[in-house]
Every structure is written in structure tokens, then in C-alpha cells.
Structure 1
Amino acid sequence: MADAGPEETAPRRTPAAGGILQSADRALVALLTFSERRPEWGVSELARHHGWDKAVAQRLLTTLVARGFLVCDPATRRYRLGPSVSRLARVGEHSGVLPSLVRPTLAQLLRETGESVVLNVPNGSGYRCAAAVDGTGPIRYTAIVGALIPGHAGASGHAIFAHYPEAEIRQIFGATPLQRFNDNTITDFDALLECYAEVRRTGHSISHGQYDEAVAAIAAPVFQAGTVAASLTVIGPAHRITRATDRIVDLVVAGAAEATAAFGP
């Protein structure tokens, strides 16, 4: 199975410049090294990864543990993200940081397509609408911010979960039967895996009425620090989306790349 998201690389080192506190910068770089693909690090591994002296890496990790940003397993002496990270993540989510970063992209896609544009974020086995702009015209799809949709139903979920590790996909979708919403819904787990492989191959997802028979959607993944963080979706009446599929695919993929850049390293 393909890797989950773009190739993992070390966070970019910030060159020495006026106004930058090197010790704080190194601590932030250390935190950004943790990812879903690499959730644990040892002192020696982290030091080698960044070319730091081992004693420096140890002091950084010890400081981050003291403030709750990391926890250390006393048996393995390996480090994981701690409760302070989760607290800041909740604050960021409630303050609408991520949606605010991509609102210009949503507005641009609306101008270019005339269709509704949605930013969806993963939420357990589904996805949640984090931000949306409604399409123009009397017939359009209206997304409800905060609405939850099952992850296996539609392009938005496919663009997100296709980039999860296969073991996690099996845990989320393979343990119980997939709910059918209509004849277009993917309810076979192997078919879902094939769909995900195609999403990874092409870089986008297209669905025709998998959740709501009247609509079609085109989505692309948005990444943050090499891990899928959201999907950007253009959605609308099936006949209009289908007629303009090729043009919308190009626009959505470009918009997702802009959103990825906005989310930062």
C-alpha cells in the first residue's frame, strides 16, 4: 500500500536571523518532527535526524516533558506528544484557525466554479464540515458547518482516508458492515480499498451520489506536516459537476495545494 501522504522529510531548519531565538526554534522543530507516521522518537534518533548534539536533544526533550508537550515512557525511554499539544489543538479548532487560513481558497474556487466549496476535516470514522461557501444560482448544494458524514460515503471522505495507513483503514472501516445510503454507496471493503488506491494514484477523488443521489463531488487532500489534515471539495448538482469534471479537477487540486501551503510545514 502506498505511503500515507507525501514523502516524510525533516522539518525545514530556520536559518539564523535577527529576532529568532535558537533554543525556542529548536524546540518547535523537535515538536514538528512527531507525526502520525512517526509518533515516537528516542533521544539519539532525534539528535541524528536533525544533526544535533545528543546532550542538546536531551535538554530539549526534558524541557518539553516538563511543560507537558511530550511524555516519556519510563520503560522504553521513548517520547510521544503530551497533553499540552492536545489542549492547544482544541483551542485552535475552536478558534477556527484552519478554516480561516483557507477562506481565500474557498472564495476563489467559488468564483471559478460557481459551485459550493467545502473544507472537511477527519472526525473518527467520518468527516466534519469545518468551513463552506454556498454555490450560486437557485439550485445548489448547501453544506452545514459542523455536520458529520460517514467517511466511506463520498469524495470528501475518500480524499482524506485514502491517505491513512492501511492498518488504520481496516480498523475504522473493516470491522463492521459499511452503511448503504443508496445504490451508489461503496459498501464492500475491498472496493473501498481499490477506490483509495485510485485516489492516491490520481491525487483526487470523484463521487457520484454516494451519500446524496442528487449531487456529485470532486475532492483533493490537504496535508499538514506530511499528514492528511483535511479535504477540499467542490460539490453540486450531479449534472453540472459531471459536465465540468475535468476543469473542476484541475481547480480543486490546485486549491488543495494552496491550502496545504497555507497550513504550513
Structure 2
Amino acid sequence: MPSSRSALPSPAKSKSDDATRAGIQSVEVGFELLESLAQAPGALMLKDLAAAAGMSAAKAHRYLVSFQRLGLVLQDPATTRYDLGPSALRLGLASLSRIDAVKLARERMADLLLQTGNTLAIAVWGNQGPTMVHWNEAPQTAPVRLRLGDVMPILSSATGRCFAAFMPHESRDASRMAAMIKDELATIKKLPAAAPAEMGDLPRTAAQVQTMIEEARDHGMSRVVHSLLPGVAGFCAPVFDAQGHLAMGIVVLGSVMTMDTRWSSPQGQAVRACAQQLSADLGYRGPSSSD
């Protein structure tokens, strides 16, 4: 007689089977309609919405009837177009209110460290300017003596340049940014005319600052080479929130001897990709910053 123990399903198999059986396929299929509406620039006609979700109009209509009852979808009686409803808005706002942007970014640092092999940091705009709030130092890289809470210069750090390039002009902090740039330019202009070639990355005029900003916007991230510290290069990519505000910058720093300093470098591209995904996770739906 077989033992009662041998007749029991194995825990691993039971969990696997439960995971397979737990899903409701119709819910997953219907979600494609909501996802298509979320990705669309505006309200959609039934046929366009169905096509975007990859289903027939008749099938899409059945789901939409239920979604309307739940308030997830609304139909304009004049145009017959469908759009997201108040229940979808409440769900979205509830989700956004529970997101800790810096915490979300910190959770990505371990994987990003493996990709880049270089020191990483997270910076936010503080009372005094761009401020370091998280630091992941990579082994066997050039030591960078920065501390949490340090306020970064605008013109000589990748972090500062990122905030200068991607902070909205209408931001309440824009005047503070402009004052910092003015003060730093005045200091840079006092440097000896025969400054070493390593300082050539520093802008010395307002026109060069504007060129620096436009270059960062073109590449979707900022860059410095030798400017902050001799022999050190860095990239900083912007992370935007659901309102399109600059939430933080993701920074990678390393020795110019071991880190590729080209705009197309693997380290820079990895940081930019991470920042773009974080922006999407925070609800940002702005234009892609790809080259």
C-alpha cells in the first residue's frame, strides 16, 4: 500500500501548477485594451482601439461594456471614441502616490553596477543645487572622494550639467540654476589662460554653456571628461516623473583609463537606458531621448 506521503504532490510542482491556474485569461486579454488606451495620445475609435489591442471589434466591444460599468473606460457620446475613465485615474494616482522614486532607483543599482563596472550615484535637486543622495562604489576603479549630501557644481560635473540641460525653464528652481551658472562662469574665467588641456572640457562663455546644454539634450544625457577631477569622466542621465519634472539624475563615474568616454560608450548607454526605464516606471510618457 503506497504511503499517504507519496500520494501528496510535491511542493514545487504544486506551486508551479497554482501559478499556472491562478490567472484569468479574459482579464489579461481585456487589459490589452486598457494598455492600448494608456499608450495612445488620445481617445480612440472602436476599430482603432481593437486593432491596437490585437482583437476584433466585436470582442473589444464586449470588454469595453464591462470596463464602462466599472468606470475604467468612458465613451464620448458625440464622437463615440473611447478613453480611460475615472476609475483608471484613481488607480494611477494611487500607484504614483506610493512610489518612492529614489528607492525605486536604488533597487536598480546592483544590476547597473554589473553592466557598467563603474561607480554609480543618484542625485536630486536640493536646496543648494544637485545633491548626491546615494552612492555605489565599484571595486578596482579610480577613487572619487565624494560624499552623500555633497552639492555638485553645475558646469564641471556630469550631474550639474544634467540638471542644467533637463530642468524645465519654468521651474521655480530655474533662477537658482541661472545664478549658479553665472557664479561658476565667473570663477572659471579667472583661471589662468594657460590652463592645462585637461580643463578644456569646461565652458568659459555663456555661448559655450548653451552648446554644452544642447549637446546633452541631443544625447539624452550629460558628460564630463577631466572637468570635475583630473583623470575622471562621467555621464549623468535624467529621470522624469509623471508630470515631466526632472526627478533625479543617474550618474556613472570612472577613470578615463578604463571607462569609454565616447557618447556611444556602453557605460553611458547603460545609464541612459536605466534612466529611461525608471522614467517610464514613474509614469513619464514624454518623447524618447534616443539619438
Q: TM-score, normalised by structure 2?
A: 0.54
Task: Tell me: CA distance 1:254–1:142, structure 2 relative to 1, closer, same or farther (3 Å).
Answer: farther
- Once the 2 structures are TM-superposed, how far is the Cα of residue 152 of structure 1 from its aligned partner? 2.0
The counterpart of 1:156, out of the listed 139, 155, 159, is 159
Output the CA distance in 2 between the equivalents of 1:139 and 1:131.
Answer: 18
**SS class of match (1:146):** coil
Task: Tell me: CA distance 1:190–1:146, structure 2 relative to 1, closer, same or farther (3 Å).
Answer: same
**Which residue is equivalent to 1:16?**
71
1:240 matched to 2:258? The reply is yes
Q: Which residue identity is paired with 2:71?
A: A
**Which residue is equivalent to 2:108?**
105
Runs of 5+ unmatched residues, structure 1:
1-8, 33-87
Task: Tell me: CA distance 1:21–1:240, structure 2 relative to 1, closer, same or farther (3 Å).
Answer: same
1:222 matched to 2:239? The reply is yes
The counterpart of 1:193, out of the listed 186, 207, 210, is 210
**SS class of match (1:239):** coil
Q: Which residue identity is paired with 1:238?
A: V
How many pairs were matched up?
189
- Once the 2 structures are TM-superposed, how far is the Cα of residue 246 of structure 1 from its aligned partner? 1.5
Output the CA distance in 2 between the equivalents of 1:176 and 1:103.
Answer: 32
Q: Deviations over 1:216-258 (max 9, x none)?
A: 0012111112121211111011221236862112211111112
Task: Tell me: CA distance 1:152–1:126, structure 2 relative to 1, closer, same or farther (3 Å).
Answer: farther
Output the CA distance in 1 between the equivalents of 2:277 and 2:179.
Answer: 29
**Which residue is equivalent to 1:25?**
90
* Higher RCO (C-alpha 8 Å, min separation 6): 1
Preserved contact between residue 125 and residue 172 of structure 1 (Cα < 8 Å): no
Output the CA distance in 2 between the equivalents of 1:228 and 1:185.
Answer: 24
Q: Which residue identity is paired with 1:200?
A: R
**SS class of match (2:280):** helix
The counterpart of 2:178, out of the listed 165, 171, 174, is 171
Q: Which residue identity is paired with 2:179?
A: I
Q: Which residue identity is paired with 1:172?
A: A
Identity of aligned residues (%): 20
Q: Which residue identity is paired with 2:276?
A: A
Output the CA distance in 2 between the equivalents of 1:164 and 1:153.
Answer: 17
**Which residue is equivalent to 1:80?**
none
**Which residue is equivalent to 1:132?**
135
Output the CA distance in 1 between the equivalents of 2:216 and 2:101.
Answer: 23
Q: Cα RMSD between the aligned structures?
A: 3.7
Q: Which residue identity is paired with 2:144?
A: Y
Bigger Rg, which one: 2
1:259 matched to 2:262? The reply is no
The counterpart of 1:231, out of the listed 249, 253, 276, is 249
Preserved contact between residue 142 and residue 232 of structure 2 (Cα < 8 Å): no
**SS class of match (1:162):** helix
Question: Which is worse superposed, 195-204 or 161-170?
Answer: 161-170
Output the CA distance in 2 between the equivalents of 1:185 and 1:174.
Answer: 12
**Which residue is equivalent to 1:78?**
none
Q: Deviations over 1:25-57 (max 9, x none)?
A: 39959xx9xxxxxxxxxxxxxxxxxxxxxxxxx
Preserved contact between residue 71 and residue 88 of structure 2 (Cα < 8 Å): no
Preserved contact between residue 154 and residue 209 of structure 1 (Cα < 8 Å): no
**SS class of match (2:272):** helix
- Once the 2 structures are TM-superposed, how far is the Cα of residue 135 of structure 1 from its aligned partner? 0.8
**SS class of match (1:241):** coil
Runs of 5+ unmatched residues, structure 2:
1-40, 43-69, 73-84, 285-291
Output the CA distance in 1 between the equivalents of 2:88 and 2:120.
Answer: 41
**Which residue is equivalent to 2:228?**
211
- Once the 2 structures are TM-superposed, how far is the Cα of residue 211 of structure 1 from its aligned partner? 1.6
Q: Which residue identity is paired with 1:247?
A: P
Output the CA distance in 2 between the equivalents of 1:27 and 1:258.
Answer: 17
Q: TM-score, normalised by structure 1?
A: 0.59
